[in-house]
Chains A and B, each alone.
Chain A
Amino acid sequence: MSGINITELDKVYDSGTENVVAVESLSVDIDHGEFLVLVGPSGCGKSTTLRCLAGLEDATAGTIRFDGEDVTEYRASERDVAMVFQNYALYPHMTVRGNIGFGLKLSTKLTGDEIEAKVEDVAEMLGIRELLDEKPKALSGGQQQRVALGRAIVREPSVFLMDEPLSNLDAKLRSEMRTELQELQADLDVTTVYVTHDQTEAMAMGDRIAVMDGGVLQQVGSPEEVYRSPVNRFVADFIGSPSINLLTADVEDGTLAGPGGFAYELDGSEPVDGHERVSVGVRPEDIEVVESGRNAADVTVVEPMGNENFLYMEIGGHELTARVSPTVRPAEGSQVAFDFDEAALYLFDVETGDALKTKTDSVDSAVVGTTQN
């Protein structure tokens, strides 16, 4: 078990004619036993960062420390890490037993019997004992996923690295494995870095989330923190599903004036002082449909989910999404008035995207309690 310190990590790919910067001066400290999720759109450098941690890519600059020890120049095999790949990368010609035991066979002085015993234990733990003599080809995606996990677990590494390990599974299995992985990680108490492009997965699994974009780390924080207090528009837009509604509005005497006659009067105008235009963000669940109000939008689609309804609306050519109670069900094509609390409002600088104001509404303490555990 070890903590990880990444300091000013750069990774530049030199294609001969041009340099492609994949990761730019990324610094993050990961605690012992922490579950950190690297999340971002494809091409944001999250996988490259993970591969640098694994030792599969050489860092162009910066240092990586495991438990204080500088491992930047170490080969993958010297770092005591285990990695789970997106497509599992099981050895097709070996049985499950061979696959799980392979690392031990190569990198430890354990006897054949000891390896056998460890493999059996891990297989038992993952519920794949009866599959030990099968070849990967004969297994389902979920079973292969377990074998890939087993291969990582059996080595008792100091760090787990996971590169989108659940993205090849179907939705139901994915959410099952998600829970299982979390439990496993908590039991083993091994520092884990987990890469995903799926923000739901990141929110659900991470102790902390590191959001990346364009090779640059945007924000590191608890799921709650990045959701409620994003540092910029990108993080606000990326985290949360359905995505936050974003509009550009003019600031006129403490009032926000947007497209389609959108107007919102601010009680506290400090955040927008000195700005002529701002980006306005409202989460879909913060939009309320009201009897009458200043703002109105045309309903284009209503999607009943059973426990809630999604309203897709249009205001001045902009799409707005609202997540409302199942009892609110306006006719498609009708116009509805909507409103939201100022406390739920996000404001961003139009040019830089930096956050000027984020959610300030109070949080139900019970909710906070569960997300922090």
Chain B
Amino acid sequence: MATSDETNDRVEQTYRRRARARIQSVGRRLRRAARPGWDRVRFARQDLTAAMPALPRVAYLFIAPFFVLFGLFLAFPVFYTLYLSFFEYQGVGEGSLFWIDLGPLYVEIPQIAQLNFVGLGNYARLLGNDLFWQSMFNTSYILAVQVPLMIGLALALALALNASFMRLKGVFRTAIALPVSANLVAYSTVFLLLFNEQLGFLNYVLSGVGLGPIPWLTSEFWARNTIIAAVTWRWTGYNMIILLAGLQTIPQQLYEAAEIDGANRWEKFRYVTLPQLKPVLLFVVVLSTIGTFKLFAEPYVITGGGPTNATITIVQYIYRQAFVNFNLGYASALTVVFVVVVSIFSIIQIKLGGED
């Protein structure tokens, strides 16, 4: 049969050759009919390109803006924070750090701050500080409840929206993802009003069905849950969209193969969906963990960190130290510790979740 196969292939090649010739002749005819105006623009552009001198290494000039901005606003602050964490901040700098006299051009870099070297003093101080540990505990608590809750919810919603029987998918998708566009302070304020203990809508509804008012903002336990509810409301849709996109990349044939292999609904989820979704799930988990660890605006607006510091988060604590108390050195040390903790979390998750 091999020879007949080869024959077939050759016949096919002939057909293809002829088809190509036909396509080319059609192409020629189309090109002749092209609009002359656009051609003139194209010719002018080509001539201009040819007339331009070829500057060596001009590409570096084109990519320079990024590196300048990155260096000024990201790299420098990052290293300066690390530097600052070994000092005590005493005030705005006076005098100049250094200057360059280039005749007509005189460049002076002023000293940024007056600093007093304290070595690891800031780090020793934070380890012994109760409020630091309290904020770490609060953040971890919110993280441990909020991230699994939100991702579970997002996955369930994504699965529902991905189901073939679902109608009005676009409407639901948009509606569920909408909260992510809400302004942080605005939505926090709305939650503050909803969860208000005397006048809030939630307690009004609860008392309507005979349940006593819940101290949403004044009980330590409920205040944390209020924060969790707010964050979950805002970010579930966002994660759902990512998970939904992940679900849609899973080849339908894998489900069909599993169906024929005798898998039921749960087994298909367990043996096809979950392993196929793992990279996306990992991405969502790492991103959510970092996001929740950085929690600031919601507790700042809704609870102000209270009651009795039960909802103060690590970033809120850093904010207080840096911009209320102006302990910039100490706040920098806190920031360094915060970054290290977040990195450790992420590394553990990636190690556990992504062997591929």
Give the interface of A toward B (CB within 8 A): 54-56, 75-77, 81-83, 85, 87, 89-94, 102-103, 106-107, 151, 155, 171-172, 174-175, 178-179, 200, 204, 241-242, 301, 303, 305, 307-308, 310, 312
Contact = CB atoms under 8 A, between A and B. Distances in A.
B251 interface: yes
A13 to B, nearest CB: 13
B253 A89 contact: yes
| Chain B interface size, under 10 / 10 to 19 / 20 to 34 / 35 or more | 20 to 34
Contact of A91 (B4, B5, B271, B278): B271
B132 to A, nearest CB: 42
Contacts, number: 93
A93 B3 contact: no
B10 A303 contact: yes
Contacts of A200: 1, 4-5, 8
Interface stretch (B27-35, B49-57, B261-269): B261-269
Top 9 A-B pairs ranked by shortest CB distance? Answer: A107-B262, A103-B261, A89-B253, A93-B275, A77-B262, A89-B257, A106-B262, A76-B259, A76-B260
Contacts of B260: 54-56, 76-77, 81-83, 103
Contacts of B264: 77
B164 to A, nearest CB: 13
Contacts of B271: 91, 102
B254 A103 contact: no
A212 B275 CA distance: 39
Contact of B11 (A81, A102, A242): A242
Q: Is the interface of A mostly helix, strand, loop or mixed?
A: mixed
Contacts of A55: 259-260
B263 A77 contact: yes
30 contacts: A54-B260, A55-B259, A56-B259, A56-B260, A76-B256, A77-B261, A77-B263, A81-B260, A85-B253, A85-B257, A87-B251, A87-B253, A93-B278, A94-B275, A102-B258, A103-B260, A106-B261, A106-B263, A107-B261, A107-B262, A171-B6, A174-B5, A175-B5, A241-B8, A242-B11, A301-B14, A305-B6, A305-B10, A310-B10, A310-B14
B254 A91 contact: yes
Contacts of A85: 253, 256-257
B5 A171 contact: yes
A310 B11 contact: yes
Contacts of A174: 5
A81 B261 CA distance: 9
Interface string B278-297: 10000000000000000000
Interface in B1-54: 1-11, 14
A162 B264 CA distance: 22
Contact of B257 (A83, A172, A242): A83
A82 B275 CA distance: 23
B247 interface: no
A178 B253 CA distance: 23
Contacts of B14: 301, 303, 310, 312
Interface in B99-149: none
Nearest to A310: B11
Contacts of A103: 260-262
A254 B267 CA distance: 69
Interface string B78-108: 0000000000000000000000000000000
B13 to A, nearest CB: 9
A106 B267 contact: yes
Contacts of B259: 55-56, 75-77
Contacts of B5: 171, 174-175, 200
B349 interface: no
B276 interface: yes
Nearest to A81: B260
B18 to A, nearest CB: 9
Nearest to B17: A301
B254 A175 contact: no
Contacts of B254: 89, 91
A241 B251 contact: no
Contacts of A56: 256, 259-260
Interface string B172-194: 00000000000000000000000
